[in-house]
Chain A
Amino acid sequence: MPDLRHLRRGFGLALALIPAAVCAQPGDSATATGSAQAEVPELGRLAHLRDLRFGAFMQPTAAGTLVIAPDGTATGTGQIAAGMTIPQPPDGRGPALFRLDGTANRAFVAILPNRITISNGSATMQVRNITTNMRNGSNRFDASGIFMLWVGGTLQVAANQAPGEYSGDFQVTVIFQ
């Protein structure tokens, strides 16, 4: 038989161990620190000078497109090609123009939407394939810290698209790199 001293220690130990499972004790809980991050890029200044103008064209009976390139070239497909030669509104037809004010020779990125929806209040058309005069990859401001950004796109015209004046907004964001 173990001596009493051992027995007493045994009881003491049992009492000490069982509460460890139910009460807050060292080891019952652990704390660590997590990390968080976010980035707000430095924004360039940007002035809107001209809208992206698809001009006027006759209502087609079949779907077609009207492409405005950043260099101002306008190309119609299907019935749009013939129907776009009609007299144009005062501001004509052409790409949007933005003036980006940055820092001489600094690299930047301009962010444009993938598509723009324009509406006459009830019917809509979409502008897709938004194109610009930026090069793929990195672009830089010139020595004067200015970049003139031209924006074109492809207007999707449905068959018997409802007549009317269509308009819609899109957002361009410029960030420094």
Chain B
Amino acid sequence: MKKIAIFAAASAAVLSVPALAAPGNQSTADGAATAEVVAPLTLTHDAGATLNFGTFVPGTVGGSVTVSRAGNGTAGGDVTLMPGSVEAADSFSVAGDAGRRFSIVTGAGTVSSGSNSMAFTTDARANHTLDSSGAASFNVGGTLTVGANQPAGVYTGSYSVTVTYN
């Protein structure tokens, strides 16, 4: 706030310069100085949200589990989702400058259980726009690659998400 206050004073100074710099000249003109202070982007991983590939039987050949941005899971290859398996998309909240557009980049990662692991890729919209109150949210889906006879276990992992003003 302090910097903004100083700048406002400076704007007044700029406007008055042409009038003072032209002694003897009776015409005056208004100039303008502009600046835009953009609220910083903040990105928050929604509490309790996780990209959940559910519970599945890997099969002898292996395959994949894909979770859509809407959170629907489908199994591919030799993988079978268990009855009662719950899949879910991850979700994030963004705050920043109202109406401003930003890009979303999500990384890949691995989930691991002890020494066993599975790789996954992620999927999110490429761009989004902050609403009139400067808020936005988006979901992240992904595809998990499941190995043949993937060992049993509860696998967990992480990935990075970056949002940047366009």
List the interface of chain A (C-beta within 8 A of B).
1-2, 6-7, 9-11, 13-14, 17-18, 20-21, 24, 26-43, 111, 171, 173, 175
B142–A36 CB distance below 8 A:
yes
* Cα-based distance from A111 to B144 in the complex (angstroms): 23
A-B contact count (CB 8 A): 172
* Cα-based distance from A154 to B82 in the complex (angstroms): 23
A9–B6 CB distance below 8 A:
yes
Q: A1-B13, A2-B13, A7-B10 are in contact. Are A35 and B155 (CB under 8 A)?
A: no
Q: A37-B157, A38-B155, A39-B154 are in contact. Are A32 and B43 (CB under 8 A)?
A: yes
A111–B50 CB distance below 8 A:
no
Number of interface residues of B (CB under 8 A): 68
5 A-B residue pairs with Cβ-Cβ distance under 8 Å, sorted by A, are A10-B11, A31-B162, A32-B43, A33-B161, A34-B106
A35–B90 CB distance below 8 A:
yes
* Cα-based distance from A36 to B111 in the complex (angstroms): 7
List the interface of chain B (C-beta within 8 A of A).
3, 6-7, 9-14, 16-17, 20, 33, 35-45, 49-58, 65, 80, 82-83, 90, 92, 94, 106, 109, 111, 113, 118, 120, 122, 140, 142, 144, 146, 150-165
Residue numbers in B under 8 Å from A6 (CB-CB): 6, 9-10, 13
Residue numbers in B under 8 Å from A1 (CB-CB): 13, 16, 20
A27–B41 CB distance below 8 A:
yes
* Cα-based distance from A73 to B82 in the complex (angstroms): 30
Residue numbers in A under 8 Å from B92 (CB-CB): 32, 34
Nearest residue, chain B, Cβ from A112: B83
Q: A31-B161, A32-B43, A32-B44 are in contact. Are A37 and B36 (CB under 8 A)?
A: no
* Cα-based distance from A43 to B57 in the complex (angstroms): 8
- Please pick, from B6, B40, B80, the residue contacting A13 in the complex, using a CB distance under 8 A: B6
A14–B33 CB distance below 8 A:
yes
Residue numbers in B under 8 Å from A35 (CB-CB): 45, 49-51, 90, 156-158
The 3 tightest CB contacts between A and B, nearest first, are A10-B10, A27-B40, A38-B53
